[in-house]
Structure 1
């Protein structure tokens, strides 16, 4: 066991689910200086992602690696030298405990073990495919007038092979799909750039709208849609 990640061993299929922001956990010795209620908010965790990831892993018989700490402790979906690794503000909320935090310590304790574990899992696969799972808030407190009507977004940087397969399948399943929305994978794709694009591994990057996966019924619905779509992408590309 590691505090940096949760490893879900769901079976032998060469498909790896990666969920960078699956946990709101803050270790006891880390003081963020915030109201604990914020740990239930989207600034701390991708709501619904852990549950959907577990369901897909069980459904497909595949492995999942879920981030084990809140993105307010350190953002696992950022390059090693990126701004925002230790957020001091998030959607209008100050995170005062991060102002004088030791970045090197948190990198060694959380960021490096998480990404090294992903590397080991992928190296053990013969023909890997990655399903990257995130969720987005229907509205930002800092920009409440921004419209985010999509049920799901598909993100990528240079490699859009799986996106081109998945988008029509998701639309056929009745979802409103954003292509590079609500933001672009060309701007925010660190984990997939590192583990997928840099190694020629095909992947599908998804963002689910949080209010649609906030309860068990929504989580089951999305897992039931995404499992077959992810498998179709994997079978076509891996």
Structure 2
């Protein structure tokens, strides 16, 4: 199991209230009207309503697209306020950029829950699924490490062996749920449960696989599951 991400001491020591005040000050660098003027000017240079990528690539625009979103909530809301017609369709590349940007902010692979929590800044799950076939496929194309099939189970077994060493026994579903709160890279306990393709006692079957892995590593596992 991966260790929780450790922050640099300088980052960990930032005062949250001071940071919030700083961010508010940064946002005040531009008025809403100044941002709208830049959007209109960019559209005039391009000859069409700009996408986020096109606006970011416009050398004459000195506002970052994320600043636009912070002021207006969404990219399309800003374009409407500027009198520009939002494009009805978002490109595949823009969807991937949104996922990559969200992953950078979170410091991990985004989940479906993250998409719901950031609906004002990220496309809907349904649009992503319609475009890529699944969220996992979209995340893989965006460059995230998203295991599939047997690879998922192999990773879960390896994580289960690490967790068992920490607990001193084979992990129960409740143990897994608790561990995942600190390590979001882990599958949920129900995802692990469904990975084990057996009709009766899937979690016990998973514990068996973890036991076999531990034995391969030279660890003695007692009949009651203790190490």
Smaller-chain TM-score bracket: under 0.3
Q: Which has the higher helix share?
A: 2
Higher strand share: 1
TM-score, normalisation: structure 2: 0.27
> Between Structure 1 and Structure 2, whose CA radius of gyration is higher?
2
TM normalised by structure 1 equals: 0.26
